[in-house]
Amino acid sequence: MVQFSAETSQRGEWVRQANRFTERITADGSSGWKAEPGRYHLVVSLACPWAHRSVIARRLLGLEEVLSLGIVDPLRDERGWRFTLDPDGRDPVTGLSFLADAYLAGDQYYSGRYTVPAVVDVESGRVVTNDYPQLTLDLSTEWARFHRPGAPALYPPELRAEIDEVNAVVYQDVNNGVYKCGFATSQEAYERAFDALFARLDRLSERLESQRFLVGDTITEADIRLFTTLVRFDAAYHGHFKCNRHKLTELPVLWAYARDLFQTPGFGDTVDFDHIKRHYYSTHAQINPTGIVPAGPDPSGWHTPHGREALGGRPFGDGTPPELPG
């Protein structure tokens, strides 16, 4: 099993690595990278919540035929993410065996971790962006001309300020908060992150008790970002990252909200619990030195009725759901 150490502050707090590649792919190409069908390859791990956001957005917006998808092995070795799920261990679109090679093609002196999601320029084989917060926003805006008919408005102009506000606190306390719990190296840092995480989950429960979605009456970018953490909560974060005040299944409002999204096309059909559990429990030797992957929890509960329709709301607004994968 490979050891992947976390970066921590002197107080034992988890510090997330900054994104190195932050160039944007734009509609008009003014950034130097123009949104074009077939030009780029989105590389993800189905285990990773940050990458999962882009998979959901790509599905909801109908960009599958425009932006190809590469999926890495949920387990990493010393060179990082590998394409061992593909024939001969090579990504069929780029020919890469390791995502690291695309990073080094973009910066030969790069020495950080090779993270997903990453958008690779197919012709040059180099990473254009690994800026996961901006990536999904750009899929909604800069790639709009390629959206499917009936694609939902995930980042509508009139709601952007509120979506950004919600995203900021959800990132700080929940999305990144579970990692701050799991990778803390002091009791004090862990407890600060733990308290902030569950205080935020309590406030989100209060917010969602009377409204079906986080912002407005349709699914937005805010729901995607919260969902990718919630869907991993009981399978990984509750035990592995010591986020154990409650399980998600013990938080009635959030559990119903998460099931509502899971049962919405584009969400649950992009979840792979096997990849999630194998990645978390097998690649963090400092947290789980035995590498044993738990057999539970039972995922069947995700398909039980949630009752959230009673709150109203229109998941896709004036749009339509994506077709289920064949």
Per-residue pLDDT reduced to its tens digit, 13-32: 868 888 889 899 999 999 99
Contact partners, residue 41, CB within 8 Å, separation at least 6? 67, 68, 69, 70, 91, 93, 94, 119, 120, 122
Residue 253 among known ligand-binding residues? no
pLDDT at res. 2: 38
pLDDT at res. 324: 80
Q: How many CA atoms lie within 13 A of 129 on its CB side?
A: 23
CA distance 20 to 184: 23
Residue 26 among known ligand-binding residues? no
Position 306 in a domain: yes
pLDDT by residue, tens only, the chain of 326 residues: 333 444 655 577 868 888 889 899 999 999 999 999 999 999 999 999 999 999 999 999 999 999 999 999 999 877 899 999 999 999 999 999 999 999 999 999 998 889 999 999 999 999 999 999 999 999 999 999 999 999 999 999 999 999 999 999 999 999 999 999 999 999 999 999 999 999 999 999 999 999 999 999 999 999 999 999 999 999 999 999 999 999 999 999 999 999 999 999 999 999 999 999 999 999 999 999 999 999 999 999 999 999 999 999 999 999 999 998 76
Position 114 in a domain: no
Structure tokens at 126: 């180099």
| 48 catalytic residue (yes or no) | yes
Provide the domain limits for residue 162: 157-311
* Average pLDDT value over all residues in the chain: 95
Position 112 in a domain: no
User: Catalytic pick from 40, 48, 132, 237?
Assistant: 48
Domain CATH code at residue 224:
1.20.1050.10
User: Catalytic pick from 40, 103, 179, 281?
Assistant: 179
pLDDT at res. 5: 41
| 179 catalytic residue (yes or no) | yes
Residue 55 among known ligand-binding residues? no
Total structural domains in the chain?
Answer: 1
Position 94 in a domain: no
pLDDT at res. 202: 98
Other CB atoms closer than 10 Å to residue 108's CB: what's the count? 7
Residue 166 among known ligand-binding residues? no
In eight-state DSSP terms, residue 292 is P
Q: 217, exposed or middle or buried, with CB in 10 Å at 0-12, 13-18, 19+?
A: middle
Position 133 in a domain: no
Position 15 in a domain: no
Position 58 in a domain: no
Position 99 in a domain: no
pLDDT at res. 11: 73
Residue 113 among known ligand-binding residues? yes
Q: How many CA atoms lie within 13 A of 30 on its CB side?
A: 3
